[in-house]
Amino acid sequence: MKRTRSQDLLKRAIPLIPGGVNSPVRAYRSVGGDPPFIARAEGATLTDEDGNTYLDYVGSWGPMILGHNQPEVREAVERALKDGASFGAPTRLEVEMAEWLTSRLPHLEMVRMVNSGTEATMSALRLARGATGRDKIVKCAGCYHGHGDSLLVEAGSGALTFGTPSSPGVPASLAKDTLVIPFNKVQALELVCEENRGRIAAFILEPLPGNMGVIPPRPGYLEAVRAITEREGIVLIFDEVMSGFRIGLGGMAERSGVRPDLVTYGKIIGGGLPVGAYGGRRELMSQVSPTGPIYQAGTLSGNPLAMAAGLATLKILEREGEALYLRLEQLTTSLAAGLALIASQRGVPFTGNHVGSMFTGFFHEGPVTDYVTATQSDTQRFGRFMRGMLERGIYLAPSQFEAGFLSAAHTEADIRRTLDAAREVFEGI
């Protein structure tokens, strides 16, 4: 594919923006080659600056579950924009968003809107620390909760992709209060609680990790986590920035039946515009400023355009309901099964993990159940696969340690086309 315009734009960007990108994973450093610069998108299709089109399995990293440029979502934003972009004052749309979320999610008694998943997790942690008077937090190796200092310790996603799990710039004095345990291992949580009894404020986890690739929780794991954190007085935070509204309207909290004390959201609830949210038990959330002493604020929090896009997206997801989520799960299952079959026919070690419309193809014999097994994947081979698919117009996440996403705009014909491309690419990698 010719990508001269993208290459020219990258040349212009590099002296001005670190790596020429505004988020590291977009630079394609871990897979090689240069990223196409996207000009527009429609449904399941991206078009780059050179007019090349791609079948999109990134979906802006999760928000575009309805597909790009969904007419009702676009019209909702256009309508809101006519009334002004931002006021820095309370608006009707924020009340409607809070009413919609809290009426559908039993674990969400109160909610505060912010502008990114990072802000949501940072704020939830500050709330947990303020409410408990404890300083330590527990996270899982390979889980990514945004780039807040306390959480950029053995993080996933880009931090994992770059093999620098703990970033410079995170003070050791802060990192020491972040305790890291393996995902899916109950004993590890028991042990860290025993060693830090009475000093752990929160356990934050992706209940369905997508940032070391997709790693489903083992049966009973989340229930055990809930019981232990309950017993220890530890605030359980489900980071559902990725899984929320992605694997079902109620996310992993609904699918697992486990009730977190706090939950974070992002991505889908903004319909592609900048958004984040945190919320949960009233007796915790009522301690947030201005009703309580725990401070958190944001110039554009609850921005009317983001609320309009998010509400339109959520209302369509609710209207389409189970039938949509089932279709997404079926399409994703046939994609994952098809890739695994092609890999096995060519003797390529490959494991497809998928839940709902989130999937990751690990270049690893499998099973892939945590950070250790995920990081044993052949990232070089993944890079060759991803680049080969890109040349055939299939746009996959540019990292072995990310989730891929399907949308309501994907069809069975798209899956067939993807598998046809994979048959060719697997030949050569």
Picking from 397, 405, 354, the residue whose alpha carbon sits closest to that of residue 214 is 354
Catalytic residue among 144, 221, 265, 278: 144
Q: Nearest distance from residue 113's CB to ligand KE4, in Å?
A: 13
What 3-state DSSP class applies to 166?
coil
Tokens of 403: 């989730």
Binding residue for ligand KE4 (CB under 6 A) from 56, 232, 239, 414?
239
Catalytic residue among 239, 261, 370, 378: 239
Q: Looking at residues 165 to 184 of the shown chain, list those that interact with ligand KE4 (rule: CB under 6 A).
A: none
- In the bound state with ligand KE4, the residue whose beta carbon lies nearer, of 249 and 429, is 249
> Considering the rule CB under 6 A, would residue 266 count as an interface residue with ligand KE4?
yes
Q: Looking at residues 200 to 219 of the shown chain, list those that interact with ligand KE4 (rule: CB under 6 A).
A: 206, 210-211
Tokens of 36: 């196409």
* DSSP string over 382-405: HHHHHHHHHHTTEE--SSTTS-EE
Q: Looking at residues 367 to 386 of the shown chain, list those that interact with ligand KE4 (rule: CB under 6 A).
A: none
Count other Cβ atoms within 10 Å, centred on residue 228. Answer: 17
Q: Which residue is listed with tokens 């096995």?
A: 344
Residue closest to ligand KE4 when measured from CB atoms: 117
Active site residue 239: yes
Q: Nearest distance from residue 21's CB to ligand KE4, in Å?
A: 9
- In the bound state with ligand KE4, the residue whose beta carbon lies nearer, of 144 and 350, is 144
Which residue intervals of 247-394 are DSSP H helices?
A: 251-256, 282-285, 304-345, 371-374, 379-391
One character per residue 113-142, x = contact with ligand KE4 (rule: CB under 6 A): ---xxx--x---------------------
Whether a cis peptide bond, with omega within 30° of 0, leads into 290 is yes
- In the bound state with ligand KE4, the residue whose beta carbon lies nearer, of 117 and 388, is 117
Count other Cβ atoms within 10 Å, centred on residue 296. Answer: 18
- In the bound state with ligand KE4, the residue whose beta carbon lies nearer, of 374 and 429, is 374
What angle do helix axes 412-428 and 304-345 make, rounded to 10 degrees?
Answer: 50
Q: Which stretch binds ligand KE4 (CB under 6 A): 112-120, 159-167, 179-187, 338-346?
A: 112-120
Binding residue for ligand KE4 (CB under 6 A) from 3, 107, 145, 281?
145
What 3-state DSSP class applies to 177?
coil
CA distance 232 to 243: 26
- In the bound state with ligand KE4, the residue whose beta carbon lies nearer, of 117 and 361, is 117
Catalytic residue among 28, 136, 139, 267: 267
Active site residue 144: yes
Q: Nearest distance from residue 82's CB to ligand KE4, in Å?
A: 27
Instruction: Quote the DSSP letter at residue 165.
Output: S
- In the bound state with ligand KE4, the residue whose beta carbon lies nearer, of 338 and 404, is 404
Instruction: Quote the DSSP letter at residue 239.
Output: E
Using CA of residue 165, residue 25, residue 341, residue 218, what is the dihedral sign? Answer: positive
Q: Is 321 exposed, middle or buried (0-12, 13-18, 19+ CB in 10 A)?
A: exposed
Instruction: Quote the DSSP letter at residue 36.
Output: P
User: How far does CA 96 lie from the centroid of its chain?
Assistant: 24
Binding residue for ligand KE4 (CB under 6 A) from 122, 159, 201, 241?
241
Active site residue 315: no
Beta strands in 128-234 (DSSP E): 136-140, 178-181, 200-205
Q: Nearest distance from residue 345's CB to ligand KE4, in Å?
A: 30
Binding residue for ligand KE4 (CB under 6 A) from 28, 37, 57, 144?
144
CA distance 164 to 137: 20
- Sheet of 404-405: strands edge to edge? 351-355, 358-362, 404-405
Q: Nearest distance from residue 196's CB to ligand KE4, in Å?
A: 24
Binding residue for ligand KE4 (CB under 6 A) from 9, 25, 170, 311?
25
- In the bound state with ligand KE4, the residue whose beta carbon lies nearer, of 213 and 338, is 213
Interface residues with ligand KE4 (CB under 6 A) are 23, 25, 61, 116-118, 121, 144-146, 157-158, 206, 210-211, 239, 241-242, 266, 276, 402
Q: Which residues are catalytic?
A: 144, 239, 267
